[in-house]
Amino acid sequence: MNSFFQRSKSAVVCGLLFALSLSLSACDKGGEKKQSEAFLNTDLTGLDYVKDFSLTDHNGQARSLKDFKGKAVIVFFGYTQCPDFCPTTMAEMSNVMKQLGPLSDKVQVLFVTVDPERDTQELLASYVPNFDKRFLGLRGDDAATQKVVKDFKAFFQKSPGKTADSYTVDHTAASYVFDPEGRLRLYIAYGQKPEAITHDVKILLQ
């Protein structure tokens, strides 16, 4: 049990350090980045390393980032058997949608599995919409999963369990937000209150 909590703490610490490094690199782009004191989460405006992705949603439809142009897109990496970060974050995103009211129709939450071996299309279809029927679960094969995680500069790693199929997956416990034009804008560290996320999403939808 102690080792699990140590891994969880490590994932959060890595996420916070990563957010700091992203913020600093965005600020070091020769003044190209437009500062926005209004955001309550880490502002990534000016960083464009995530161009697109190619995955399949839990309905079996091929998806890419440009499919959601015109909406703010929130991307979270996780897996259905995650005991803590994932259900907590998804529940927070559900609360964000409620707080947004009618504006929630202009927001798309994407849950990208880092465990395609166990997270089948059917399992994602039964898990993800439980938080909000508009949420989509995305998956790819091992190669596609590795690519999309690398593109986001995120990470994941299996931690062996007592049996071959009882492993856990350490992963980046944060969310990434794109504006309606498909530009990467925000990094939301794990544990942010729904009110702070709602505040920033409203700004992106203005």
Task: Supply 46's token pair.
Answer: 């000016």
Residue 34 CB neighbours (<10 A): 9
Is 86 annotated for ligand binding? yes
CB burial of residue 107 (10 Å; 0-12, 13-18, 19+): buried
DSSP notation for 55-115: EEETTS-EE-GGGGTTSEEEEEEE-TT-SSHHHHHHHHHHHHHHHHGGGGGGEEEEEEES-
CA distance 204 to 71: 9
In the annotated binding site, the residues are 82, 86, 171
In the annotated binding site for Cu cation, the residues are 82, 86, 171
